[in-house]
Amino acid sequence: MVRRVLALTSGRIAAAVLTVIALLALFGPWLAPLDPLATGDNTLAAASGTHWLGTDYLGRDVLSRLLDGSRVSVLGSLEVALTALVAGALPGILSVHWGRVFEWTTLRLADTLVALPFLLFAVAVVALLGNGLTQAMLVTGVLVSPLFYRVARAATLAVARSQYVEAAVVSGASTGWIVRRHVWGKILPPIAVALAQTIGVGFVIVSSLTFLGIGVQPPAPTWGGLLASDLGYLSHRPWAPVAPALLITATVWASNLLADAIRDVSGEAGRVLLDDRGARDGRPDRTDPAPAPAPAGGAR
Amino acid sequence: MPGRPTPHRPGSNSRTGADSRPGPDSRPGPRSRTARRPGRLRTTALATALVSVLVPVLGACGGGAGASAGGATLRWASSYFPAHWDPVVSGSGAQFRELALVYASLTRTDEKGDAVPDLAESWEYNDKGDEVTFHLRPGLKFSDGEPVDAAAVKAAVERAKKQKNSALFGDLTSIGSVDADGLDAVVHLTQVDYQIPQLLGQRVLQIASPKAAANPRKLDQKPVGAGPFVVEQLIPGTKVLLKKNPDYWDAKNIHIDDVELVSAPDASTVVSGLRTGVYNFADLDPSQADAAEKAGLDVFVQPGFNASNLSLNVNKPPFDDDRVVDAVRHAVNREEFVDKLTFGHGEATDQPFPTGYVAYDPQSRDPYPYDPAKSRKLLAEAGHKAGDITLDLVIPAEDPQAEIVQSQLAAVGITVRIKIDKNWATPFFAKDLTFSLYGTTGRDSAVQTLTAHFGPNGPLNLSTPYEPAGFDAAVAKVRRTPLDSPDYVRNLRAATRAGLKSKALVFTYSSPNLFAKSKAVSDLPKNPAHIDWTGVTIAGGS
């Protein structure tokens, strides 16, 4: 699938942007040119040779804070996505195989979670359990999990009705064997789409929560937190929110682009699309007098 | 707010997906849409033009529910929008200014900070000084029609002392009982105390209608007082609409017809709101002062008694060691707070009020100057190497003050972890915390300010029941001194000096009472720490 995603221009762009973001998350704190927590007398300063993106209201280097904050911001969104995957996909698959009680219970639970607003619930849980990013993200992940539940359940249902699965059941195969052998491979593509999309959503949620001062304790920098503090000093540094806002936007955009690319190449439709594009890429220029070959994917 | 991810159904058109792009077999669709485009463009353009014209017109016609037709309307965006409108529950903090729109009190303060008549037209002490009689103005009524008499005063005092969720009972320890005799309220004191007329002003005894106060929960939602305005609509935590109270005793000097008080959404949006006329009055964060001035607004500082401090609990380690407390005192650079938080509008202070206040004691000025080297030496003497001490600084919300404290203490080897606890008030007032921050807007009675900070049960004394030696006697002496006595200032400052021996508080800076208003709103009386609307006019009506 990776090769097929990278065969698309949008896939390559998304992968490039997300790789840069991942590198920032991995090495950002070490790349920071100055101590991101060191205050100074030179507050709200404009960009200069020493401070490439200026300084904040306590005289701290903004570039260093952006780089240092990238890890928390990215890890938070990954935590949301992975929590949602585990809390949603497994019950989604098992709801098809584990009988009506489990199916009914998980369906109602998913319906309930869908009805809860992310931010309000996260704020309430943080008030209950203490202000920390881990608890905020875990809760948010659980709230996002119905997406994975429904995607996994729908894909599993389609597979479960196929004759080869029925044959496996008749021949005494266990649920675990059926899931591993027949279900898992079929539901991976839609799960991958949902995961990429959820990373983007998780990023917006992390940024929103840290914008509201929830999840990360000061003075630890996050992109959302930097954006929030910059907004308070717009009259002094009107351009300041641009950098954290661009980073947030680029990450969310790339995640969504990746989700679209995975969806495009998933399943039969995706293969046909790629084959079709490949055929068109190989097609001679319109000015070429030679007749164009027939599309490889055939008529649709 | 982020939206929820939605699973895409196979075959459905996605907003961003490749499905929305025209494919090789999608020509008929786009072609037919292209054919209708000019007509649709015209329709869209017409609709846009119509909306652009109608929205402002309809918006202007709608107005707020409380906006008067042509009257003078105050549109006030407040950062201190009261969480409670029952004055007994709301307490004596900064939000008393908003409640003063609705409630009057026995006394008020003038521009010198002295107590002057409000609902009481006069008062006198007995010779011993342990009883004071307030004479109420005749013929006054609360906005529900109940009479303003001594029985209402008695009910207000008793409610403040006894109501379970009262935030005021600690302020009324000098008051034993109240006798009501028509328009005369006789206040019997537990000790000689000449501070009572200042104490029973807007901060501590805003008087509600006894009939309405019989149901405090209802009063909290529908306040009934005898102040300059009457509540028409209250949306808790968000907005309150008020109109002028024609029965207010000084109604002739109230020139504002309507008030729309709203909770300021964010400091950075206030100036825009003022500039566009959404508000015409607002309190202002110092970081916004420049922008407000550039926008042509009137930016002014109302005199006040603000002071911020570090609260230490000397009953808990490491602050049970005097050398650690002294190390913290010497590690604090007050000028950094002033420069970075007040943008030049505030001042450093080492006492629970700004310099220049009557209770400020010049003899106690700067006993622990900023000296990081001495701080490190004290910590070493106490047996602490750099990094040995880690403190949790618990605060209710993100605050740059905390980051400055963290940075200054880090410089002497103390590690500070900032903990934001939305439920901070409970452990703070229960004196469970070890280290925190507080900022006061002061009290009209200087003695009240001192006892709140340094008294054994003072709400701002994190080290209860600790009290500095000699403070109790010094405060009792001030209480016994009439305010017009030549000894008053000396005794008051002696009490401040005794209080400042406390190891539980390190004062840092005094933030300004900064406000911005449109030029249509006339200047306010300079009553310290108060917002008094008497005589204020708003040019051009609403």
Q: What does the pLDDT read at residue A294?
A: 37
- Looking at beta carbons, which residues of chain B come within 8 Å of A276? 24
Q: Which domains, from first to last, does chain A contain?
A: 2-36+51-274 (1.10.3720.10)
Cα-Cα-Cα-Cα torsion A228, A232, A234, A237, nearest 10 degrees, comes to: -80
β pairing state of B414-420 and B389-395? parallel
- Nearest Cα residue to B302 out of B21, B67, B527: B527
Strands, E assignment, B128-253: 131-136, 175-181, 184-189, 206-207, 229-235, 239-244
Q: Hey, is A54 helix, strand or coil?
A: coil
Burial of B243 from C-beta contacts in 10 A (0-12 / 13-18 / 19+): middle
Residue A197 CA to residue A18 CA, distance in Å, equals 13
pLDDT, average across residues A75-82: 89
Nearest chain B residue to A37 by CA distance is B407
Contact residues, chain B, for A57 at CB < 8 Å: 287, 340, 400
Contacting residues for A237 by C-beta, under 8 A, at least 6 apart? A44, A46, A54, A230
- Number of Cβ within a 10 Å radius of residue B385: 10
Distance CA B154, CA B156 (A): 5
Output the pLDDT for position B174.
93
Q: Which residue has the higher pLDDT, A168 or B351?
A: B351
How is residue B364 annotated by DSSP?
G
The shortest C-alpha distance from B93 to chain A (Å) reads 24
Contact B72, B244 (CB under 8 A): no
Q: Looking at the partner chain, which of A130, A219, A260 has a beta carbon nearest the beta carbon of B18?
A: A260
- Chain A residues in contact with B3 by the CB 8 A cut-off are 201
Residue B93: the pLDDT is 87
Q: CB of B133 within 8 A of CB of B187?
A: yes
Average pLDDT over residues A219-239: 87
Listed ranges A26-30, A274-278, B503-507; the one with the highest mean pLDDT: B503-507
The helices-and-strands tally (H runs, E runs) of chain B is 17, 22
Chain B residues with CB inside 8 Å of A117's CB?
1
Q: What is the pLDDT of residue B268?
A: 81
Q: What is the pLDDT of residue A279?
A: 52
> From CA A84, how far away is CA A86, in angstroms rounded?
6
Residues of chain B contacting A201 with CB distance shorter than 8 Å: 2-5
Report percent pLDDT > 90 for chain A. Answer: 35
Which residues have CB under 8 Å from B212's CB, separation 6+? B142, B144, B146, B218, B219, B222, B223, B224
Please give the pLDDT value at position B270: 92
Contacts of B267 (CB under 8 A, 6+ apart): A232, B79, B284, B285, B287, B288
- Check residue A229 and give its pLDDT: 85
Contact at CB, B4 and A119, closer than 8 angstroms: no
Report d(CA B355, CA B344) in Å as an integer.
15
Q: How many other C-beta atoms are found inside a 10 Å radius of the C-beta of residue A94?
A: 18
CA distances from B206 to A2, A3, A245, B102, B199 (A): 71, 74, 47, 9, 11
pLDDT of residue B16: 33
Contacts of B146 (CB under 8 A, 6+ apart): B152, B209, B210, B211, B212, B224
Selection from A224, A222, A221 nearest residue A204 by Cα? A224
Q: How many C-alpha atoms does A5 have within 13 Å on its Cβ side?
A: 21
Q: Measured between alpha carbons, how far is B538 from B542 in angstroms, rounded to an integer?
A: 8
For residues A84 and A71, give the distance between their C-alpha atoms in angstroms, rounded to a whole number.
20
For B118, the token pair is 């409000």
Residue B19, pLDDT score: 35
User: A57 at the B interface (CB within 8 A)?
Assistant: yes
Task: Extract the tokens encoding B411.
Answer: 């410089």
Q: What's the pLDDT at B515?
A: 96
**Alpha-carbon gap, residue B293 to B291, rounded angstroms:** 5
**B413 dihedral zone (left: phi>0; alpha: psi -120 to 50; beta):** left
CA atoms within 13 A on the CB side of A51: 22
C-alpha–C-alpha distance, residues A23 and A15, integer Å: 12
Query: Alpha carbon of A186 to those of A271, B90, B327: distances in Å?
Result: 14, 61, 66
Q: Which two tokens stand for residue B431?
A: 């004196």
Chain B: closest CA distance from residue A295 (Å): 10
At which residue do the structure tokens 């068109």 appear? A280
Judged against a pLDDT cut of 90, whether residue A179 lies above it is answered with no
- CA B89, B92, B96, B102 torsion-angle sign: positive
Determine the distance in angstroms separating the CA of B5 from the nearest CA of chain A, rounded to an integer. 7
As to burial, measured by CB atoms within 10 angstroms (0-12 exposed, 13-18 middle, 19+ buried), residue A198 is buried
Peptide bond into B318 cis (omega under 30): yes
Integer Cα distance of A92 and A113 in angstroms:
14
Question: What are chain B's domains?
Answer: 44-81+237-304+513-541 (3.40.190.10), 104-213 (3.90.76.10), 307-510 (3.10.105.10)
Average pLDDT, chain A: 83
DSSP calls for A143-164: HHHHHHHHHHHHHHHHHHTSHH
C-beta atoms of A234 and B266 within 8 A: no
Q: d(Cα B507, Cα B259) in Å, to the nearest integer? A: 36
Q: Let me know how long chain B is.
A: 542
Which ipTM was obtained for this model? 0.72
* B268 with A154: Cβ contact below 8 A: no
User: Is residue B203 helix, strand or coil?
Assistant: coil
Chain B nearest C-alpha distance from A20 (Å): 22
Query: Is the Cβ pair A264, B422 closer than 8 Å?
Result: no
Long-range contacts (CB closer than 8 Å, 24 or more residues apart) made by A25-32: A25/A70, A25/A71, A25/A73, A25/A74, A25/A75, A26/A71, A28/A66, A28/A67, A28/A68, A28/A69, A28/A70, A28/A71, A29/A67, A29/A68, A29/A71, A31/A67, A32/A61, A32/A63, A32/A64, A32/A65, A32/A67, A32/A68
- DSSP class per residue in B464-477: TT---TTHHHHHHH
Compute, in degrees rounded to 10, the torsion defined by CA atoms A218, A222, A228, A234: 110
Confidence of residue A286 (pLDDT cuts 50, 70, 90): very low
The enclosing H or E element of B499 equals helix B488-499
In this predicted model, which residue has the larger pLDDT, A85 or B21? A85
Calculate ∠ Cα B489-B495-B497, nearest 5°. Answer: 100
Chain B residue with minimal CA distance to A43?
A: B340
pLDDT band at A234 (very low <50, low <70, confident <90, very high): confident
Mutate to test the interface with B, among A58, A197, A206 (most CBs of B within 10 A): A58
- CA pair distance B154, B395, nearest whole angstrom: 37
Phi, psi values for residue B263, rounded to 5°? -75, 120
Average the pLDDT over A214-233 and give the result.
84
Report CA dihedral (A126, A132, A133, A136) to the nearest 10 degrees.
-20
pLDDT at A278 (0 to 100): 52
Cα–Cα distance list, B263 to B51, B239, B259, B279, B521 (Å): 29, 6, 13, 11, 19
| Least confident stretch, A143-147, A227-231, B17-21, B466-470 | B17-21
Q: Quick check: A116 contacting B, CB < 8 Å?
A: no
Q: Which residues of A touch B418 (CB under 8 A)?
A: 217-219
In chain A, which residues have their Cβ closer than 8 Å to the Cβ of B421?
Answer: 130-131
SS3 call for B261: strand
Write down the pLDDT at residue A267. Answer: 62
> What is the chain B residue with the closest CA to A199?
B5
Q: Round to whole Å and give the CA distance between B247 and B381.
A: 67
B-chain residues within 8 Å CB-CB of A213? 397-398, 420
Residue A161 pLDDT grade (very low, low, confident, very high; cuts 50, 70, 90): confident
Lowest mean pLDDT among A18-27, A219-228, B453-462: A219-228
More confident call, A269 vs B538: B538
Q: In percent, how much of chain A has pLDDT > 70?
A: 88
Q: Does A7 touch chain B (CB under 8 A)?
A: no
> Does A275 touch chain B if contact means CB atoms closer than 8 Å?
no
Cis ω on the peptide bond leading into residue B30 (within 30° of 0)?
no
Say yes or no to pLDDT of A178 above 80: yes
**Using a CB-CB distance cutoff of 8 angstroms, which residues of chain A are in contact with residue B285?**
232
Per DSSP, chain A holds a count of helices (H) and strands (E) of 12, 0
Q: Do B400 and A260 touch (CB under 8 A)?
A: no
Q: How confident is chain B (542 residues) per 10-residue block, as mean pLDDT?
A: 35 34 34 41 52 46 44 93 94 92 96 94 96 97 97 97 90 94 97 95 96 96 97 95 97 97 88 94 93 94 94 97 97 96 93 92 95 97 95 92 96 94 88 96 92 92 96 96 95 97 96 95 94 93 48
Other C-beta atoms within 10 Å of B473: how many? Answer: 11
Report the pLDDT averaged over residues A101-110: 93
